Structure 1
Amino acid sequence: MKTILLLVASNIFMTIAWYGHLKNQNIPMWKAILVAWGIAFFEYCLMVPANRLGYGNGFNGFQLKMTQEVITLVVFTVFAVFYLKEPFHWKYLVSFVLLLGAVYFAFKK
């Protein structure tokens, strides 16, 4: 459970770092990059321990990556809908279901 919580927290930081500047296009690119790097530092401070804790303790490398990708999509969806105010289309839901199929097969014994 620690691995999942750390992955969620790290993805929140990374989503903000990568996409948080999109609503403020008037900020110079160099400032957006520096702020994003500063935010991404905290993402790495959470992602590295998440992967270290998870690897070999219930997850292999492929499973960690698949789990991280699903968490990334969930975090981004919330961010896009509530912060960027983008509509959520049915085609995104279908895409997510197909990705969940990929996760299912990654974890299948």
Structure 2
Amino acid sequence: MPTILLLTLSNIFMTIAWYWHLTKSGMSKPLLGVILLSWAIAGVEYCFAVPANRIGFATGWTPGQLKIAQEAIALTVFGVFMVTILGEALHWRHFAAFACIMAAVAFLFVGK
């Protein structure tokens, strides 16, 4: 459970670092400032991602399982961000893509 929690926190910060500047107020900021601020936010993301991966690996997760879990969490976090912050509507294709990622998660975790 600590691995999932830390990966979720990591992805919240990474989504903010990568996409906050696409908002109306973010687009008005100078590019260099956006890059520097995004790198600062990404630094916080690493403080969650590295321990998440170490804890997960130490408790028996494979690197492939860690990566696919991170991707599923990233898409979930991004979906929420996309709708709530960027105002984009969800489409059936978003759900289909998420189902494919969840299938990939199942393939890597089945039998483990």
Answer yes or no: same fold by TM over 0.5. Answer: yes
- Tell me which residue corresponds to 1:85: 87
* Residue correspondences, number: 109
Counterpart AA for 1:59:
W
- Tell me which residue corresponds to 1:55: 57
- Tell me which residue corresponds to 2:7: 7
- Tell me which residue corresponds to 1:37: 39
Q: How does 1:58-69 map to 2 (within 5 A)?
A: 58-69=60-71
How many angstroms does 1:43 deviate by?
A: 0.1
Q: How does 1:68-107 map to 2 (within 5 A)?
A: 68-107=70-109
Q: TM-score, normalised by structure 2?
A: 0.95
Q: Distance in 2 between matches of 1:59 and 1:36?
A: 30
Q: TM-score, normalised by structure 1?
A: 0.97
Identity fraction in percent: 50
Instruction: List 4+ stretches of structure 1 deviating above 2 A.
Output: none
Can you give the 5+ residue segments of structure 1 that lack an aligned partner in the other structure? none
Can you give the 5+ residue segments of structure 2 that lack an aligned partner in the other structure? none
Q: Deviations over 1:28-78 (max 9, x none)?
A: 110000000010010000100000000041310000000000000000000
Three-state SS of the structure 1 residue aligned to 2:27 is coil
Q: Distance in 2 between matches of 1:58 and 1:71?
A: 19
| CA RMSD, Structure 1 to Structure 2 (Å) | 0.7
- Tell me which residue corresponds to 1:46: 48
Q: Distance in 2 between matches of 1:58 and 1:93?
A: 30
